Structures are given as structure tokens and as C-alpha cells.
Amino acid sequence: MLLSLPFQPLEFEHTLLSVICAGLTCHLIFNRLEPRSLLHLVLLLAVPPSVLTVLVLPHTSGLSSAVPLTFALYISSLGTSVVLYRLSPFHPLAKYPGPMLCKVSKLWFAGVAMKGKQHLYYSELHQRFGDVVRIGPNELSFRDVKAIVPMMGSKGMPKGPWWDGRVPAQNREVRPLLALRNPEEHARRRRAWTRAFNTPALKDYEVLVDARVSQLVDILTTKIGTSVDLSQWLGWLTYDIMNDIMFSGGGDSMETEDRDISRLLGNAQPMALFLSHLPWTAEFYLRLPGVGRDLRAFRTYAAQRAFERKARGSHQKDVFYHLIDEAGLEATPPSSAQVTSDGGLAIVAGSETTSTTLSHAFFLLLCNPTAYRRLQAEVDDPKRDTWVPASQAHMPYLNAVINEALRLFPAVLSGSQRAPLIGSGGQIIGSHFVPEGTSAVVHTYSLHRQAENFSPFPDTFLPERWLAAKEQIALEPKIFGGKHEVIHNTAAFIPFSVGPSNCVGRNLAYQEMRMVVCTLMSKFDMRFEEGFDIDSWEENMLDYFVVQRGRLPVVLTARAS
């Protein structure tokens, strides 16, 4: 049935052409303006085909066929144009190699990432395509030490659009420090964090870490002879430590064996990673009913901690003291929402990373009895003040073990994305140019295992590579005595990232990890639970930006004091 229209209908071919042209124009607008907000997306994706339906209607049997036809034609012409452009030589990243599916849409990579093995996929792509790979239509991954400083150094690029997807839209105005893309705002907010982790502050935190490690020792002592999941206990330990350092208390996960917090965080991670890779989808996804419940529950939890701490006050200078600017050093005091957001960040950034690294270190030690014995000897050495954190900083084998664990399994396996500053035109990275509107990452896991940076045996746990040449030769003459070319490029070692946005908690993390390893090694002998499948550890390790770990079943025996 034809409806009567107030204008002369176009020829059918002209009608179709109009819809196709509208789809192509929409692509141009997307390309130029990169609209991301839900309103803009609806305006561009739904309004034009709805209006154009009026032109199609006279050529169809009614609205029920005109609407799907117009939408299908509009979206498919837009989609085809997008795909052809992304594969064409006119795309600014056209010269970079990569899988065709990655060039067409980031959906492919996001899908792979959700399985938790993106670090291996990045690594495989670098092995297939070389040091610079196009991992998305508008994104490059670098496995090149020369890219680090231009990308992340003081004249490098700010955080990339990744964070637009990771931080829920509703919370945009109170992003945590880690997710701030504006360099000036980041520098201003980071000042308080720097004060919270300076040398005197770290000294104040020593006693808090010490008390929690002693609590863990007491609990584990009651479990001697049975199998304990060391990974789980280290997770609870670092979580309680972070609550003490951040909010002067409030965490009791060791006491209660709290599985809720890991569940809240764990459940949200795969989707958070997907949204990071496809930031524009976050606008839609987070509006779906019932979605993001765990993430919101975690935010409520962090807000409660901050609220309780504010109400309670504190007799010591915790991180909250610095973030809320209780000393009144800043001209503009931070808002409560800002401090709550940063509080949540500290709990995740400070606990999961540290417990992951500690778990890897113990796993690697237990797989390598020689390394275990060498570390044990250093810890037991009566000439060293093993109990004094300042002395632990000078224990070569201890630090070598921690660094080697961080090299093989950096806690943030796949690095932190950067993108050229808006208005800058782009950024030169060595002999490459990263244009505005695109983004890039240095892939930490691949870089750390590159033979050009760490040789021989880049995939092998070899703490000795971190020692002075004389000790290396004395301990491992076959490896370091001249038979192999030895490469140890510390510039390529970036587990804490580099530059003005690097990990602000780096020194605390080292201090904490040394204290934990020294204490547990001196109190207990350890072995894997009978029948534990060593391969399962790496198989169960999932890269959701925050690493998820499997079980690390260990049987402890008390050591003579």
C-alpha cells in the first residue's frame, strides 16, 4: 500500500543511492570527529536511516519493510566503507603489518582478549610480524626498546582511549589517577601520590607491612603439614596491607578468609578488558540493566573504606592523609569523590600486582631448587641483617629473584596504552609516526622475553642474570663463562612502566615483596603439594590487565629458628 506523501517520490535507484551516500557521509563524520557519546552515536546511527525511511517507504509495502531495508542499507554502506578504508593504502597505519581481522575491527582483538590470553596473542603477533604490529584498525603494538622513552617518557604521550572504556561513563568526572588522560590534571593529582610514597612515608609503612606479615606467619604456622593455596594467602595479605597503608585499617581478609573481594574484582575484569579495547561500546554496555554490578559493588566498598577512614581520623600518616590533603598543602583541596576513586585504585593497583609477583616468585623458586637454595642461603646468612628492610634492599640474590619474576611475568603483562595528545598532530616514535587518532602500546611481556634484550635463555628463570659478572661466573660458569653471548638490557625492563605516569608505588612494592619473601623463607620450608601439575600455573594465569591466578598449593614445614 502506498501512503500519500507531500512530495514527489524519488526513483527507486535514487532512493537507494541517497541512503548509501548518507552511510558514507556518516563514515566521514566518524573519521573526522570520532564521536563517542551515546547521544552522538544514536544521532549518527539511528536518526539518518529513520529520516530516510520516508524516501524508501513509497517503494515498499509499508513501514515494516521500509524500516529494516533502510537501516540495513545505511549500516551496510557505512560498514563496507569503514572496512575498505581500514584495509586501504590511504589509512594512516596502512604500512604496518598485522592480521587482516585486526586491521578491520578491534572487535577481533577484544574477543581474543576476553579469553585471558592476550599477552600470548601479542607475543605471537610480534613473532609473526616483527617489532611493530597493527593490532587494531587504529592501534600499534611495539616490541622495541627504542620506543619506550618516546612513547612513555617525559616528552611522550598521555594515556590512550583504552581508559575511556575501562572507567565507567558514569564516573568520568572522578577517574582514578591511573585513568587520567589529561597530562596537566594527571600531574596535579599525582603530586599527592608522590608525597604518599616518598622515603619518610615508606619508612612509616614498614611497621604496618611487618605486622601483617607476622599475622600471616602465625596463621600459616597453624597449617603446617597441610596444603595451603599460597597464591590466595598472598592475595589476602597484600590486600590487608594495602588497606592499612591506604586507610589505616579496615581490611580483615586474612582473618575472615574473604573470598568476596576477589570475586567482585575477578568477575568484572574480562568485561572491563573488552570495554577497554572497544571504548565506544562502554556507553551502551554500562546502560544495560543489571550490568556492571560487581564493579559498582567494588566502588561502593572503596567508598565505604574512604568514608569510614574520614570519620575515624587517624593517628598516623596513611596514603589517605596525603590524598585528602590533611596537611593543607594544595590550593584546591581534592573532592571526596576523587579521593574515593583513587582509594579504590590503590587497593587494586597495590595489592593484586604485588601478590601476583610474589606468587610467581614462589612458584619459580619451587620449580628451581638451585635458585631456592641460593636464596635460602642468602636469607640465612648471619652476616646480613635479613630482618631490616634497608638491608634487604642490598641482598643481591633476593632482588635478582624478584626482578626475574617481574621480567618473566610482569604483573601488568600487556603494558599501558598511550595516544598522541589531542591537537598535537601525532608523535614520532623512533623511525615511526603515530598519528593523532591512533594509539600505541609497548608490549611488556614480549619485550621482556626478547633475546635481543635478555640472553641467553630469555624464557628461562635465571636470577643469576641480575648479578654482577663475577658472581654470575662463580655460580653458573657454563652459562656466563664465555660460551654464550650475554645480553642484559635493563632499559628493556619495564614492569613498573616508565615516565611521568609510571607506577608511583614501585618502591613500596619492592619493600613489601622483599619483606614477605625474606620472612616466609626464613620461617618455613616449602614444597608443592604432591601431584601438583606445574604446567597448570601458567595455563591458569589470565591477563585481564589485572592478572588472575590459579591455585598455588604448597605444603609448609616449620624451620628451626
For the segment 44-63, give every residue that binds ligand HEM (CB under 6 A).
none
Contact between 241 and ligand HEM by CB under 6 A: the answer reads no
Query: Which residue in 160, 279, 350, 463 binds ligand HEM (CB under 6 A)?
Result: 350
Backbone angles phi, psi at 495, to 5 degrees: -65, -25
3-state secondary structure labels for all residues of 166-220: HCCHHHHHHCCHHHCCCHHHHHHHHHHHHHHCCHHHHHHHHHHHHHHHHHHHHHH
Interaction of residue 501 with ligand HEM, rule CB under 6 A: yes
Q: How far is the CB of 507 from ligand HEM (least distance, A)?
A: 9
Question: What is the closest distance, in whole angstroms, from the C-beta atom of residue 244 to ligand HEM in the complex?
Answer: 12
| 81 lines the binding site for ligand HEM (CB under 6 A) | no
The residue of the chain with the least Cβ separation from ligand HEM equals: 505
The size of the chain, in residues, is: 561
Gap between the Cα atoms of 223 and 231, Å rounded = 15
> For strand 439-442 and strand 139-142, is the pairing parallel, antiparallel, or unpaired?
parallel
Instruction: Please identify, using beta-carbon distances, which residue of 178 and 401 lies nearer to ligand HEM.
Output: 178
Confirm or reject binding of residue 505 to ligand HEM (CB under 6 A): yes
Pair 93, 140: CB distance under 8 Å: yes
- If one asks whether residue 497 binds ligand HEM (CB under 6 A), the answer comes out as yes
By rule CB under 6 A, what string of x and - marks binding of each residue 378-417 to ligand HEM? Answer: ---------------------------------xx---x-
CA gap 200, 559 in Å, rounded: 34
Q: By CB under 6 A, tell whether 174 contacts ligand HEM.
A: no
Q: Choose between 74 and 233: whose C-beta lies nearer to ligand HEM.
A: 233
- SS3 state at 136: strand
Which residue is it, cell 601483617?
212
Beta carbon of residue 196, minimum distance to ligand HEM (angstroms, whole number): 8
Coil, helix or strand at residue 21: helix
* Contact partners, residue 438, CB within 8 Å, separation at least 6: 92, 93, 138, 139, 140, 419, 420, 426
Among positions 85, 193, 307, 433, the unique one binding ligand HEM when judged by CB under 6 A: 193
Establish if 190 lies at the interface with ligand HEM (CB under 6 A): yes
Identify which of residues 71 and 236 has a Cβ nearer to ligand HEM in the complex.
236
Cell numbers at residue 53, please?
525511511
Helix (H) or strand (E) holding 243: helix 230-247
**Ranges within 137-156 binding ligand HEM (CB under 6 A):** 152
Binding-site member from 69, 346, 408, 554 for ligand HEM (CB under 6 A): 346
Selected binder of ligand HEM within 480, 496, 528, 537 (CB under 6 A):
496
Pick from 34, 50, 75: which is nearest to 160 by CA? Answer: 34
Which residue, 59 or 190, is less far from ligand HEM as judged by CB? Answer: 190
Q: How far is the CB of 138 from ligand HEM (least distance, A)?
A: 19
Nearer Cβ to ligand HEM (48/350): 350
**Residue 237 interacts with ligand HEM (CB under 6 A): yes or no:** no
Q: Which is nearer to ligand HEM, 131 or 342 (CB)?
A: 342
Please count the CA atoms within 13 angstroms of the CA of 546 that sit on its side-chain side: 24
Residues that contact ligand HEM, how many (by CB under 6 A): 25
Three cell numbers at 66?
Answer: 521500509
Using the rule CB under 6 A, give the single segment among 18-26, 106-114, 166-174, 493-501 that binds ligand HEM: 493-501
Parallel, antiparallel or unpaired: strands 454-455 and 439-442: unpaired
Query: Half-sphere exposure of 29 toward its Cβ, with a 13 Å CA cutoff?
Result: 15
User: What are the residues whose beta carbons fall under 8 Å from the beta carbon of 287, sequence distance 6 or more?
Assistant: 38
- Asked whether 457 and 404 are in contact (CB, 8 A), the reply is no
Q: Any contact of residue 372 with ligand HEM (CB under 6 A)?
A: no
How large is the C-alpha radius of gyration of the chain? 27
- Please choose, from the candidates 5, 9, 19, the residue with its C-alpha nearest in 3D space to the C-alpha of residue 52: 19
Out of 57, 167, 509, 521, name the contact with ligand HEM by CB under 6 A: 509
Cell of 205: 609503612
User: CB 165 → ligand HEM: shortest distance, Å?
Assistant: 15
Q: Which of 504, 518, 552, 555 binds ligand HEM (CB under 6 A)?
A: 504
Question: Among residues 116 and 160, whose Cβ is nearest to ligand HEM?
Answer: 160
Q: Binding of ligand HEM at residue 511 (CB under 6 A)?
A: no
Are the C-beta atoms of residues 351 and 238 closer than 8 Å to each other? yes
- Cβ 207 to ligand HEM, closest distance in Å? 16
Which of 198, 140, 265 has the alpha carbon at shortest distance from 506? Answer: 198
Q: Which residues contact 496 (CB under 8 A, 6 or more apart)?
A: 502, 503, 506, 509
Consult the annotation and say whether 21 binds a ligand: no
- Output the nine-digit C-alpha cell for 420: 598522541
Report the residue number, 77 or 357, with the smaller CB distance to ligand HEM: 357
Binding mask 413-452 for ligand HEM (x = CB under 6 A): ---x------------------------------------
Binding-site residues sit at 503
Name the residues that contact ligand HEM, by CB under 6 A. Answer: 152, 177-178, 190, 193, 345-346, 349-350, 353-354, 357, 411-412, 416, 495-497, 501-505, 508-509
Binding-site residues for heme sit at 503
